[in-house]
Amino acid sequence: MDSPSDGVTSEIQGPNGCTNTQGSCAWASPEGGQKIAIGKHIFCNRAVNMKNIVAVGFDMDYTLAQYKPETFESLAYNGTVKKLVTNLGYPNELLDWSFDWTYMVRGLVLDKRRGNILKMDRHKYVKVAYHGFKLLSKDEKVATYGNTLVRDAFDEPDYALIDTLFSLAEAYLFAQLVDFKDNNPGKISEEKDYFRMYRDVRAAVDLCHRDGTLKQMVAADPKRYINEDDSIVPMLQMLRTSGVAVFLVTNSLWDYTNVVMNFLCGPQKLDSSSSLTLDWLKHFDVVITGSAKPKFFHDENRANLFAVETDSGMLINTDNGSPMAQVGGPSLELPDQMPDKPYKVFQGGSVGHLHKLLNIESSSQVLYVGDHIYGDILRSKKVLGWRTMLVVPELEKEVELLWYLRDTRKKLISLRSERDEIEDQIHHIKWSLQCECLDAHEAEKASSKLNLLEVQCERVRVTHQVAQKVFHEKFHKVWGQLMKTGYQNSRFAHQVERFACLYTSQVSNLGLYSPAKYYRPSEDFMPHEFDVLSL
């Protein structure tokens, strides 16, 4: 069965029988509260009762603002390559390179020492490995990662985790550099081994961020780099109408945040462009810019909180929203410094400041929505006990394909079971031939049956192997299904399961459900339960 093209996915029938169109209705609209397209479902790992949530918070970059990989990631890639050549002495040939934004996926691990890119399962067994763009054979993979007495943790400093969409460009560039170094001896200094090359890539990425090039380009033409989503504002309005406080915590500074949020939530002109106003702020109770996540989530973090004067961008040292004079500085003239309404936009600070600004009494009353497992989800969940929702844009296509290919998956499971049954028969016959006293006729008969079973087993094995490879390539030609490696959950899926209470494909999917909904997880199953339940 062929997978649907991008233009056909909207015709996939979901499990509830509804056509999976792009336009699901907001829950608060007259048409809402009905069927939700399968790709826009919110999936639950741990129970979240929205009636107990008093504040919902959002990250901005890659959460509210979904960047277009074909333009934004290419912009980041090109900027990084230029920095490698002009600032770090790499050959000019790199300037002719291009970026395939479809090649890398999240959840991969870069082996900086060996120049390898790995996909592993939840037990940290390497299932797929490439050296640059060269696929490692099973023997090479086992020799490198499977023959040690002590299991590798696959952590820093020798490994880099590709867990954000923004990391895909640097992973692709690293693979290109590995291939280039291997195939062009002398073009890159011998002093620059694979580890040093990755460090240079990271340094070049940081240079692109520090000089402001990327954000200046986005600010000049946000429509070129950011996906429009007219479902965000209705979702924010619904949450606030339900009595929930809404906040934004982003590492971006005020000037860039204002541009992006105006594009997403501000008034639009007839040509779909947006003008800079402060109208979008009405959808939020508190906005924290320059938050320095994940450090922001540690209450022992003593970073100062500054109020942002939104018109000028000026920072005012504050204590939970009220201006205060700095030590040794001139006293504040409060009538000149205080606006008519309380400050709403801040910079820096810590989670303790946020809790006080929103009068939050318990961390479990907060739901935070982000895209970064380590920067947003792990810290807020593990350190604070906030409820968490992870945004995984790739999930929409993955879920749709899973539904479309459900019969293929059943066939794969059936082939696997058939292979197990044949192997059991083979083992029993071999045992009989070795351990039982069979006469010549019985032994000949058993041997003949054994030969037939071994041929049959090999045929089923090859059929299953080919079908499974085709199945995974439907999701991604190189890396397969995002949440799986073979029959095991992938490392990325394991992280999602551990740290995200909820996960979904788009932040605006939250607006498709009741703001008072009780999200309940599905039942957990152990392997011993499946055969019983399938009877």
Encode pLDDT of 306-358 as tens digits: 899 888 888 887 655 555 544 444 444 433 433 444 779 999 988 888 998 99
Kindly report which listed range (42-51, 280-289, 345-354) carries the lowest average pLDDT score: 345-354
Termini Cα distance of the chain:
27
pLDDT of residue 32: 67
Q: Residue 211 is encoded by which pair of tokens?
A: 């000089």
DSSP strand pairing (305-308 vs 345-348): antiparallel
Q: Among the ranges 8-17, 197-206, 311-320, 329-338, which has the highest mean pLDDT value?
A: 197-206
Residue 124: left if φ>0, alpha if ψ -120 to 50, beta else—which one?
left
pLDDT at 290 over 80: yes
Q: 3-state DSSP helix/strand/coil percent for the chain, to nearest 5?
A: 45, 15, 40
pLDDT at 149 over 60: no
CB distance 378 to 400 below 8 Å: no
Residues making up the binding site for Mg(2+)? 59, 371
Beta bridge partner(s), residue 389: 369, 502
CB distance 69 to 193 below 8 Å: no
pLDDT of residue 457: 93
Q: How high is the mean pLDDT of the chain? A: 84
Residues making up the binding site? 59, 61, 371
Rounded-to-integer distance, Cα 17 and Cα 9, Å: 15
pLDDT of residue 534: 61
Query: Is residue 61 annotated as part of the catalytic site, yes or no?
Result: yes
User: What integer is the mean pLDDT of 422-428?
Assistant: 92
Closest CA to 288 of 236, 252, 240: 252
Rounded-to-integer distance, Cα 437 and Cα 353, Å: 81
pLDDT at 424 over 90: yes
Kindly report which listed range (8-12, 149-153, 228-232, 316-320) carries the lowest average pLDDT score: 8-12
**In the block, residue with structure tokens 């970064």:** 372
pTM of the model: 0.85
Of the chain, the percentage scoring pLDDT greater than 70 comes to: 85
pLDDT of residue 4: 41
Residues making up the binding site for GMP? 61
pLDDT at 12 over 80: no
pLDDT of residue 292: 86
pLDDT at 153 over 80: no
Query: Is residue 255 annotated as part of the catalytic site, yes or no?
Result: no
- Which comes out higher in pLDDT, residue 473 or 385? 473
In DSSP notation, 347-361 reads EE--HHHHHHHTT--
CB distance 76 to 204 below 8 Å: no
CB distance 491 to 107 below 8 Å: yes
pLDDT at 78 over 70: yes
pLDDT band with cut points at 50, 70 and 90 for residue 368: very high
Closest CA to 479 of 144, 168, 81: 168
CB distance 297 to 384 below 8 Å: yes
Q: Which residue of the set 6, 61, 193, 420 is catalytic?
A: 61
CB distance 49 to 513 below 8 Å: no
Helix, strand or coil, per DSSP, at residue 161? strand
pLDDT at 444 over 90: no
CB distance 172 to 100 below 8 Å: yes
pLDDT of residue 25: 72
pLDDT of residue 304: 85
- What are the strands, taking DSSP E only, across 360-418? 366-370, 387-391
User: What integer is the mean pLDDT of 356-381?
Assistant: 80
Helix (H) or strand (E) holding 129: strand 126-131
Rounded-to-integer distance, Cα 204 and Cα 90, Å: 11
pLDDT of residue 100: 93
pLDDT band with cut points at 50, 70 and 90 for residue 9: very low
Q: Which residue of the set 59, 111, 121, 163 is catalytic?
A: 59
pLDDT of residue 111: 95
- Which comes out higher in pLDDT, residue 7 or 185? 185
User: What integer is the mean pLDDT of 505-509?
Assistant: 94
